[in-house]
Structure 1
Amino acid sequence: MDYISKLPDCILSYILTMLSMKDLLKTTILSKRWCKLWGLRRDLYFDVFNVFGTQNQLLHIIDMDMSRDEFVTRVHQFLNNFHGTKIDSFLVNFFLKREQSSTINQWLSFAIARGVQRIDLLLLGLPYGNDNTRCKLYKFDFALFAYTNASTLYHLSLQHCVVFHPINSDFILPFKCLRYLSLRSAKVDKMFIECLLSNCLLLEEFYLLYCVLKSLKLKIVSSSLRHLKVIGCYTVSHIILGIQDVKKQDDVKLILLDCPKLTSLAYDAHDLDTMKINTPMLNSIQFSISFKRDLNAFVAICATFTQLEIMHLTTLAMVTTSLPITQPLKHLKELNLDVSVPSYILNDEEYDPLWILNILQASPLLHKLSVMFVYQEFFEDQKDIRDVETFCHENVKVIELGGCVGNWFEIEFVMNVLKSAHKLERIVLSPYWREDEELDWNSNPDWFQRGRDRIIEKFQGEEVVGREKLVLI
């Protein structure tokens, strides 16, 4: 007896969502009823797994050029058999370029006509492929929305596209309900950003990630924006060196940030001393700082963030030699520090690796402190452990040190924290570190060869109050 056919449409439709597109297309020859059930799908996702259908193809980088035609054919076949009248979300994650513009526009028109609310056009194809060609990027066509109800769109994510304001000066961006926009590895012009911020009055999240901009200076002015990321953006210019035409890249600088409702900001900070900022509601920041002048300006700016509770700072050990904490971070509750530690810096007599204790002292309400040392090496000429100026901290409960190798200042830091942090529940030392959240974890073998044992030996030989709170990974 065919028990499956007796199931109600809602259950059968749910079962079909578990199938890849490749397997789903096979059901058309089994039952016309099953084919019609496709129309109940509201979320259409087209990536390597859903189109090609086997887990094995996720385990290696596929040949995008060989697979592109097959990918396009299968998506076309699916859409031609799809009878649904309503779509909530539409995702394409594959390595496509400008030569596929007509195809991409057909797919987008299909989704727009069905009132799509969320579009993700991820044309890098990650993590299944890498772009190492010079083919032209697909140019996002705003005209697709001109004759349809684009007001349904609230989420738009574009990757590896050209996003320029149309030449028509009378053009009005048709995204009145847009709340989320992410542009990654895209080419973007200044006029589009200005048009976006002035027309999309409901926009709450805006992310510019590793984009090529036409203007070196960026202004963000919005009365609705709550979350902003400007990471890795740059301009490209050409200079002549002899007879060669050389490309020159310059980091984009955020010169004006006027967003009264902004609560979170991520920015690889450049020229902070000249940036004008108005963000009275800001409570979470993620900054990447490479120069001492920007670090000093960063500390001054932090004093103006009266609601700041969460901070993530990525910096170099060389610029932290004299970190000035001029005012307490009164509301800070969570602090994450990623510190690159070049081997030569530990030989510098002016460098004090315990500068982190200064931040701890300046953050009286801090609950959690996470520090990750990047590229740290074991220092052969170990100093004697010493005490620093005594202080008390009544709120910090969890401290994590990543990228440890067993250096003297790691031990000294732990000893001083155990004495000073009266509410501490645990302090965890781990060898693992990574440069970015999207990258794999690394560790230094020195930790397992001698660093971990050195710390154990030191704490066994000392009368240290609270050493039961120490956890070694």
Structure 2
Amino acid sequence: MVKRKRTQRQHFHARTRTVYTKFGLWEVDKIIEAMESRNLINRRTDIFSKCAIFENNKNMVDHISILPDDVLQYIISMLTMRKGASTCILSSRWRNLWSSSVSCLNFDAGARINSLRICYFLGKESTSDIDQWVDLAAAQGVHELIIDLDLTKFGLVHNPTKLYKFPFGIFANGNGSTLMHLHLEACVFKLPQDFKSFNSLLSLSLERTSLTREDLRNILSNCSSLEWLSIRHCQLHTTSLKFEAPSLHLKHLAIIGCYNSPEIEVEAINLISFEYEGRAAKISFKNGSRVVNSYLGFSHEVTLNGVSYALNKLSSNLPCLETLFLTRVPSTSEENILPAKLPTFTNLKLLVFSVLTESRRNLLELISLLGVCPSLQKLELDLFVSCESEDVQTKVSGNSGSFHGNLKEIDIYGFRGYQNEIELAKCLLKYAHALEKMGLYTNIPRFYCGSGEWTLYQKIERAAGIPLNEVRKLLQKEALSTTRLIISSGHL
């Protein structure tokens, strides 16, 4: 019968005498097999150590742990992987010794590799090694393959002539039939014209590579099950891109950060999500009636005319749009954030607008968004106003202001208590008659950058404006009795 002695140190009482022990390696393995976990305290079992047994509460002398790390690592390297890893529970001294003793990992024992990720600053010179890893994964029916060789993560610059070339030959003859998700960064991806081994591929993400019109045509014609296609920060060597996939299952299309974007034509009857960030190229849709989610990102290089063109195309070509993410960074020469005339988004229910702006601009022009989104239920504004403004407008100009009866929730992130921000919040409270909640959060605003990814803008230090308790008093005068007002220093 095993009893645990209630002392500061963990001891075990075995049968007729008290035993103070540290476990030998074979005992650790035996304990784990018996318990199927590392919780040694909640299990009662007979434990005897062949390493050391001391009675009468004498101090233990752990002879093996006083050996140098190199010797211990050599000893552990003679054990199996499982037994070597088991030594990490002996003490803090042993916690990481086993990981340094591993020189070779043998993946052949498993029947299948579900996912393989290669992330390092490798290139063309490492082709044979990467090919070996990919070959092993393909032979064991890999479902997800991620090869991330992006040097910019390590502060290095790419040489286009030294990029790793994806080995399509490995996946020929049916080896690619199990692959469902493929993500490649900084790799050469030239899909052969009649390559039919990617029929099971559901998602394809390409970053920091070069693509031609022919490459895109081969992708769409050879990946018949493709549902998700993401192209980020790629060089597009063509004057026009046509996503003609009327018979495909393509549901999500993202073209992000390809600033040499040519004309884009999309024909995918099953498409439900479209994301674009670039220089407001000419975009047209055919059969876009099912698209309900969209993202448009405009840098400072995109003029108001470009923004107006893209929004008008989106409104007319995607009539069922329900969720829209907008990111806008106006150039220093522009006076306005939004075009003077905006198209109407009849069915839009969620609008997320991220904007980096200077204090001289009038934030009240954002009120015009309410008038062109009659069905809007939630509005999120991610504001980064560089500093306090001396000249603040307090009235909405022209016909920008219109009462809204469906808007239930407003969240403003990046709120600093500046006067122009307060005036914006006042006007929103005034025009949103059905508003149930307004949240003002002083944390650094987040910016949506496509494919479900967000980034924080932290490049400029900004002074605080009016204290938050004063802001609350000012806004409570404008808020309805049914509106819940939240002012916080973080997300809720």
| TM bucket normalised to smaller | 0.7 to 0.9
Which residue of 102, 105, 124 maps to 1:78?
A: 105
Please tell me whether residue 137 in structure 1 is matched to residue 163 in structure 2. yes
| Aligned pairs for 1:246-325 within 5 A | 251-273=260-282, 275-289=284-298, 290-301=302-313, 302-317=315-330, 318=334, 320-325=337-342
| Aligned pairs for 1:168-183 within 5 A | 171-183=194-206
In the aligned structure 2, how far is the partner of 1:216 from the partner of 1:25?
A: 60
More displaced, 1-10 or 262-271? 1-10
| Aligned pairs for 1:317-466 within 5 A | 317=330, 318=334, 320-327=337-344, 329-343=345-359, 346=361, 352-384=362-394, 391-431=402-442, 432-435=444-447, 437=453, 439-442=455-458, 446-448=462-464, 450=466, 452=468, 455-456=471-472, 458-459=474-475, 465-466=480-481
Contact kept in structure 2, 1:367 and 1:398, CA below 8 Å: yes
More displaced, 389-398 or 253-262? 389-398
CA deviation vs aligned residue, 1:9-37 (integer Å, no higher than 9, x gap): 99579xxxxxxxxx9999763348769x9
In the aligned structure 1, how far is the partner of 2:457 from the partner of 2:118?
A: 29
Local SS of the residue matching 2:424:
helix
Q: 1:8 to 1:277 in 2, by over 3 A?
A: farther
Q: 1:257 to 1:270 in 2, by over 3 A?
A: farther
Local SS of the residue matching 1:416:
helix
Local SS of the residue matching 2:403:
coil
Alpha-carbon offset, residue 82 of structure 1: 3.7
Please tell me whether residue 206 in structure 1 is matched to residue 255 in structure 2. no
Local SS of the residue matching 1:299:
helix
Q: 1:193 to 1:398 in 2, by over 3 A?
A: same
Q: 1:94 to 1:119 in 2, by over 3 A?
A: same
Gaps of 5+ in 1: 14-22, 38-49, 55-69, 235-250, 347-351
Which residue of 447, 452, 469 maps to 2:485?
A: 469
Contact kept in structure 2, 1:374 and 1:434, CA below 8 Å: no
Q: Structure 2-normalised TM-score?
A: 0.71
Local SS of the residue matching 1:233:
coil
Alpha-carbon offset, residue 193 of structure 1: 1.5
CA deviation vs aligned residue, 1:402-450 (integer Å, no higher than 9, x gap): 2334343322222222223233232222342245555445386655354
Gaps of 5+ in 2: 1-22, 39-71, 87-95
Alpha-carbon offset, residue 138 of structure 1: 0.5
In the aligned structure 1, how far is the partner of 2:329 from the partner of 2:382?
A: 12
Please tell me whether residue 233 in structure 1 is matched to residue 246 in structure 2. no
Q: Comparing both structures, which one devotes a greater share of its residues to helix? A: 1
Q: 1:212 to 1:25 in 2, by over 3 A?
A: farther
Aligned positions, number: 403
Please name the residue that 2:17 is paired with: none
In the aligned structure 2, how far is the partner of 1:288 from the partner of 1:298?
A: 10
In the aligned structure 2, how far is the partner of 1:260 from the partner of 1:10?
A: 54
Q: CA RMSD in A?
A: 3.7
Q: 1:138 to 1:9 in 2, by over 3 A?
A: farther
In the aligned structure 1, how far is the partner of 2:346 from the partner of 2:255?
A: 26
Alpha-carbon offset, residue 126 of structure 1: 7.7
Q: 1:315 to 1:87 in 2, by over 3 A?
A: same
Local SS of the residue matching 2:464:
helix
Local SS of the residue matching 1:172:
coil
In the aligned structure 2, how far is the partner of 1:159 from the partner of 1:142?
A: 16
Larger Rg: 2
Q: Which amino acid aligns with 1:406?
A: G
Please name the residue that 1:118 is paired with: 144
CA deviation vs aligned residue, 1:20-62 (integer Å, no higher than 9, x gap): xxx9999763348769x9xxxxxxxxxxxx9x969xxxxxxxx
In the aligned structure 2, how far is the partner of 1:364 from the partner of 1:423?
A: 13
Q: 1:263 to 1:86 in 2, by over 3 A?
A: same
In the aligned structure 2, how far is the partner of 1:175 from the partner of 1:443?
A: 43
Q: Which amino acid aligns with 1:286?
A: Y
Q: Which amino acid aligns with 1:29?
A: M
Contact kept in structure 1, 2:112 and 2:140, CA below 8 Å: yes
Q: Which amino acid aligns with 2:428?
A: V
In the aligned structure 1, how far is the partner of 2:274 from the partner of 2:73?
A: 42
Please name the residue that 2:54 is paired with: none
Alpha-carbon offset, residue 343 of structure 1: 4.6
Local SS of the residue matching 1:151:
coil
Q: 1:274 to 1:158 in 2, by over 3 A?
A: closer
Q: Structure 1-normalised TM-score?
A: 0.74
Q: 1:305 to 1:456 in 2, by over 3 A?
A: same
Contact kept in structure 1, 2:404 and 2:431, CA below 8 Å: yes
Contact kept in structure 2, 1:397 and 1:425, CA below 8 Å: yes
In the aligned structure 2, how far is the partner of 1:309 from the partner of 1:359?
A: 14
More displaced, 286-295 or 98-107? 286-295
In the aligned structure 1, how far is the partner of 2:155 from the partner of 2:461?
A: 30
Q: 1:303 to 1:356 in 2, by over 3 A?
A: farther
Please name the residue that 1:97 is paired with: 123
In the aligned structure 2, how far is the partner of 1:24 from the partner of 1:256?
A: 60
In the aligned structure 2, how far is the partner of 1:91 from the partner of 1:386?
A: 53
In the aligned structure 2, how far is the partner of 1:357 from the partner of 1:24?
A: 66
Alpha-carbon offset, residue 314 of structure 1: 1.2
Please name the residue that 2:218 is paired with: 195
Please name the residue that 2:176 is paired with: 150
Q: Which amino acid aligns with 2:369?
A: I
